[in-house]
Amino acid sequence: MKDIFCDVEVVKNFDNIKKIMILREEETNQEIEIGGIPDDAILLKLDIDKKEFKRKSMYLKRETPIIHKGCDYCLIIPSEKVIILFELKSNRPREKDYVNQFMVSEIFIKYCNELGNYLNKTTDYYEFKRILLSPKYNIVFTSRTKLQDISTSDRCGNPIQIKSPGFPDRIRLEKLLL
């Protein structure tokens, strides 16, 4: 699927030797290091703060609410058939905002996957995981095996599973996949 994305701004590199990636939110100066990244992983930056990247398609009206929103990052792991959507938020994340960002990003990435399948004559399908990174969900103790479940429902009333480790400085990918 990597071949359908422009590589200048969207496809991000990570340290293949140390197997780590760093997710950054420039606006809030937040960052997290995530270790244990597989060699075949593809990291996409979905929320680029440039005018030409703020539209998913020229076919869709710019003023239509929600549809041009997106999560900060998307990690595609072909070997595990999983896609992880990451949203980095401050201390006071508004539920309706991040839920919409997760849903719109998931719909967009499913579309991209279908395009990639068509172009490459494949039938790859992925399970989605949604990870909200916010200091609001920092907890006093560190759990090696659990994430906080902040699942809710989307605007259509469908359940949407969202997990959060809070906003640690670093975390292992394996923990996010539980």
d(CA 38, CA 105): 22
Q: For the whole prediction, is pTM greater than 0.85? A: yes
**Residue 110: exposure state from Cβ atoms within 10 A (0-12, 13-18, ≥19):** middle
pLDDT of residue 21: 96
pLDDT of residue 176: 93
pLDDT of residue 142: 54
pLDDT of residue 69: 77
Residue 66 Ramachandran class (φ > 0 left, ψ -120 to 50 alpha, else beta): left
Instruction: Find tokens 């400085």 and name the residue.
Output: 169
Instruction: Find tokens 């990636």 and name the residue.
Output: 21
Angle at 169 between CA 164 and CA 170, to 5 degrees: 75
Helices (H), 26-127: 95-120
pLDDT of residue 165: 92
pLDDT of residue 57: 65
pLDDT of residue 5: 84
d(CA 65, CA 139): 34
pLDDT of residue 8: 73
pLDDT in 10s for each residue of the chain, 178 residues: 788 887 777 888 899 899 999 999 877 788 999 999 999 999 999 876 666 665 666 667 667 777 767 899 999 999 999 999 999 998 888 888 899 999 999 999 999 999 999 999 999 999 999 999 998 888 755 555 678 999 999 999 999 999 999 999 999 999 999 8
Would you list the domain boundaries of the chain? 2-176
